[in-house]
C-alpha cells in the first residue's frame, strides 16, 4: 500500500522501478544497522518475503561472507545467500509461462 501511494502521489517522477530499488536498499540498510533482524524475529515470514526482506538477505549474506572470506566475500556473499530464492523464481516463472497461455 505504501508503494502504491508513493507512486500515486509522486507521479510521474517515481516509477515502480524506483520503489523496488528503494525497498531492497532500505532492507539492506536497516539490516546493516541491526534494525531489520528484530522485525524478522517478531513477524517471521512477514518480514522475509517482501522486497525489503530480499535486501536484508543480501546484506546478511555479504556480512557473513566478509567475516569468513575477507573483503572479497562482499562480492559473492549476497549472491550466495539469495541464489536459491532467485533460482526458484526463475524456474517457477518459466514453468508458468510454458503451462499457461496469456489471454489477449
pLDDT at 29: 95
Q: Which domain holds residue 80?
A: 2-99
Establish if 104 belongs to a structural domain: no
DSSP state of 33: T
Note the pTM of the prediction, 2 decimals: 0.79
Establish if 77 belongs to a structural domain: yes
In angstroms, the CA 31 to CA 8 distance is: 28
- The number of distinct structural domains making up the chain is 1
pLDDT at 36: 93
> Per residue of the chain (104 residues), what is the pLDDT tens digit?
888 899 889 988 888 999 999 999 999 999 999 999 999 999 988 888 888 999 999 999 999 999 999 999 999 999 999 999 899 999 999 999 999 987 77
Three-state SS for 1? coil
CB atoms within 10 A of CB 79: 13
Establish if 43 belongs to a structural domain: yes
Amino acid at each position: 500500500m505504501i508503494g502504491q501511494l508513493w507512486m500515486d502521489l509522486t507521479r510521474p517522477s517515481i516509477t515502480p522501478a524506483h520503489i523496488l530499488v528503494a525497498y531492497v536498499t532500505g532492507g539492506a540498510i536497516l539490516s546493516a544497522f541491526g534494525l531489520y533482524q528484530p522485525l524478522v524475529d517478531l513477524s517471521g515470514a512477514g518480514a522475509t518475503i517482501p522486497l525489503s526482506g530480499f535486501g536484508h538477505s543480501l546484506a546478511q549474506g555479504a556480512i557473513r561472507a566478509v567475516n569468513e572470506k575477507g573483503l572479497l566475500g562482499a562480492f559473492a556473499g549476497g549472491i550466495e545467500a539469495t541464489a536459491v530464492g532467485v533460482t526458484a523464481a526463475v524456474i517457477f516463472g518459466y514453468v508458468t509461462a510454458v503451462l499457461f497461455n496469456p489471454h489477449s
